[in-house]
Structure 1
Amino acid sequence: MAASVEFQNLTLSECFDQGLTSYESICDSTEPAKESGVQYKIIKCMKMLEYATQLVSAAGLYSNNETIDEVPTSDIKYMLLPFMLGSLALKLTNNGNRLDVVKTAEVYFRDYLQRCKDYGISDLTLPSEYSESEETTTQSAMDFSLMARRRAEKIKSYKEQKLMESQLQLLKEQNESNNVDEEIKRKYVTSLLKYNIGKALEEIDSLQAEMRILYFKLKHENKDNPDQAKGLKIKSKPLMPIIITKNELQKKVFGAGYPSLPTMTVEEFCQKRFNDGVWHLPTAENTKCLQQTAETSEIEEEEKKDIITEAEEENERQRLNARDEYKDDHRRGWGNRYNRS
């Protein structure tokens, strides 16, 4: 997902804060995620958070040889970016390839857990990456000590989550007040990072279980109809994660942890966008035109949703009327000739 023009004028802090507000609104919403309006909000929020991720990479805010105590309070909140993007990716329903969505979300959650571990926020043991060869692994070959350690960490994380829930709510209310102390801000964000560690571990476990099912289905689909499976692979557009990398050297080292994940520096990413014709040098005229187009598209989308909703309501009304008319003309039990002389 390319960064939208509407985010270009925002600072990193403004972009993150708006993205966080949108993220919390999506998570608190009771609307089904598959609704077109909700999907639009999810995609827009992901673009905003991806753009914030690119800005964090360009600024070089994080280093693997630091601890959380060395990170300025204003920069700690950006560590939440991969967790938020992973959570939003799982809500996508119109990507066309669920396996791509699951893999992307897992990369985000792993990146989040690894960063929390690197900065001393947690001493957790990251779960091993899923591979198709695991299906043939026997129970005796598994590392039971690792399994026991992972189980103990899950229980510990679950207990910590329960203890932090009420504390987090109180800290959030204090953090949203006008005259908030910097210590309260730092404590709130740090507590939020710790709280989401347990959620990320749960998500990875669920994603790996889903991967087993998806790989099994894909394997059998390929056997039954290899031409059709090949066609589906060509049509579906992969969803690529955007993670924080600081520079060329870090890009080379960082790739070792994610062998299947291609990474680019910010300079390479921007140059590729310009070369592909996706981005253009901004001018006063085309920026105004793009903003007007974006506003028009949003209005058209809202009108389209209203039309679809009205059509659905009309169809439902006609169906209920037809059912009532049928009941008026066909009393219950008519036509049942069983057990009659």
Structure 2
Amino acid sequence: MAQSQEIPIDRKLFEIFEDAYKLMNSFDTCYDPTNSPEFQANIKKCINLFEDSTRLVSLCGLFSSNEAYEEVATENLRYFLLPFFLGQLTLKLCNAGRKEIVEVAEIYYNDFLRRCENYKLCDKPEAVAVLDNVNRGDKIQELMRMGQERNAKLKKYQEKKELDDQIKMLKIAMEKEHVDDEIKREFYLKLLNSCILDAREELVSISQEKQILEHIAVMRRSGDSDEHKHPPRGPPPKPLKPIIITRDAVQKAVYGMGYPSMPTMTVAEFYEQRVAEGIFPDQEKMKEINKNSLMNRVYQDNEAEQEKEAEEIEQLVEEDDEQYLARQRAKDEFKDEHRRGYGNRYNRS
């Protein structure tokens, strides 16, 4: 996936995320063909924005593996949706092999569901019960299995419909100028629950599509394909690389075990790449920026004041100033009579 070159360093995470989210929502009212150059260009732009958001989330370290969603700030809940959105957008791409596209989307959906499960946003899906002591071909077992699947689908459909209705109502409230924190939190949690249901459905569809694609590949290998007689012109497209939320090389190795051919980026690699592209400043430039920063000026002023105060105290000691010496003696006498923590006796037995 081509990296975004247009995002300046002074842009904030929520600004990049909001731009990508608005662009993604605009696709619902777009009537251009999916494979049109304009639509594909907007899809790639939206993916690049969400990828940069993902890298910044990793850089900031917003998520930890030992937390629950109750501990996550309301404004940060929306960043759980990054891999889901990237999975949705990846499936709309037309500039790569379909097998590669569905594999990358599958990685995003699995990463989204895994993080939601770790943060107790959802439970692992329950396996459908299988009846014992009955042959698989038996009609009774087949009818029972079909009934279970039908009931499960109806339950999911009803749950999804209720969630979507609630999300529509909350979305109207979110468009107001001042929104209460509780409404924001409820909106993000409802949206996450809806996306969890969608992600599980998408994974089922992807599993079925992968079987079809594998069957097509076998058929092509067994017969004479036009691709061997007339190879495609031009260089092959760049391979897709999923960008998931990781902080260091250890996490990258763990997440990469399932798909070693699809690497992720650590925070250090992301920063080095941005420096090489000229988007982020290098260490020497950062030192110059820090020298002129407001915080550095305040620190220098405080340091100068402390040095001046130390010189004044030293001068008072050398001149045996009576008032200064009297204050110091009073402090020493107070410390002798009052031990440390003397006045902190509230609520002690």
Preserved contact between residue 8 and residue 279 of structure 2 (Cα < 8 Å) = no
Which amino acid in 2 is paired with 1:186?
A: R
2-side partners of 1:148 and 1:10: how far apart? 53
Partner SS, residue 20 of structure 2: helix
CA distance in structure 2 between the aligned counterparts of 1:175 and 1:67, rounded to whole angstroms: 24
**Residues 7 and 15 of structure 1 are in contact (CA less than 8 Å); yes or no, is this contact kept in structure 2?**
no
CA contact (8 A) 2:167 2:187 kept: yes
Supply the AA of the counterpart residue of 1:102. Answer: V
Deviation at 1:175, TM superposition (A): 1.1
The aligned counterpart of 2:192 is 193
- What residue number does 1:64 align with? 65
Match for residue 105 of structure 1? 105
Q: Report the residue type matching 1:45 in the other structure.
A: C
Partner amino acid, structure 2, of 1:207: I
What's the offset of the Cα at 1:267? Answer: 1.1
Deviation at 1:197, TM superposition (A): 1.1
Change (3 A) 1:169 1:120: same
Contact 1:154 1:201 in 2 (8 A): no
Deviations 1:265-318 (A, max 9, x none): 1212443576xx6x23669xxxxxxxxxxxxxxxxxxxxxxxxxxxxxxxxxxx
Which residue does the alignment assign to 1:322?
none
Match of 1:235, SS state, is coil
- Which runs of no fewer than 5 residues in structure 2 stay unpaired? 128-135, 282-349
Q: Contact conserved, 1:125 with 1:150, CA < 8 A, in 2?
A: no
The aligned counterpart of 1:121 is 121
- The DSSP-based 3-state class of the residue aligned with 1:47 is helix
1:21 to partner: Cα distance = 0.6
Distance 1:281 1:73, change over 3 A: closer
Aligned to 1:157: 156
Inter-partner Cα distance in structure 2 for 1:268 and 1:151: 47
Matched, 1:205 2:170: no
CA deviation profile, 1:138-170 (whole Å, cap 9, x unmatched) = x89xxx9x9999887655433211111111111
Pair 1:63–1:282, CA change in 2 (3 A): closer
Deviations 1:223-249 (A, max 9, x none): 3358946966x8243211111112233
User: Which structure is larger by alpha-carbon Rg, 1 or 2?
Assistant: 2
Deviation at 1:192, TM superposition (A): 0.2
Q: Distance in 1 between matches of 2:8 and 2:51?
A: 11
Give the structure 2 partner of residue 44 of structure 1.
Answer: 45
Q: Give the share of equivalent positions with the same residue, in percent.
A: 37
More helix by share: 1
Deviation of 1:188 after TM superposition, in Å, equals 0.3
Q: Which residue number in structure 2 is paired with residue 325 of structure 1? A: none
What residue is the counterpart of 1:289 in the other structure? none
CA RMSD of aligned residues (A): 3.2
3-state SS, counterpart of residue 177 of structure 1: coil
TM-score (norm 2): 0.67
Residues 147 and 239 of structure 1, relative CA distance in 2, 3 Å threshold: farther
1:280 is matched with 278
1:172 & 1:209 partners in 2: Cα distance? Answer: 34
Going from structure 1 to structure 2, the CA distance change for 1:272 and 1:179 (only over 3 Å counts) comes to: closer
Matches within 5 A, 1:155-234: 155-225=154-224, 228=227
Contact map agreement 1:222 1:229 (CA 8 A) in 2: no
TM norm structure 1: 0.69
Number of aligned positions between the proteins: 265
SS in 2 for 1:82: helix
Matched with 1:21 is 22
- Residues 1:161 and 1:221: Cα distance change in structure 2 (over 3 Å): same
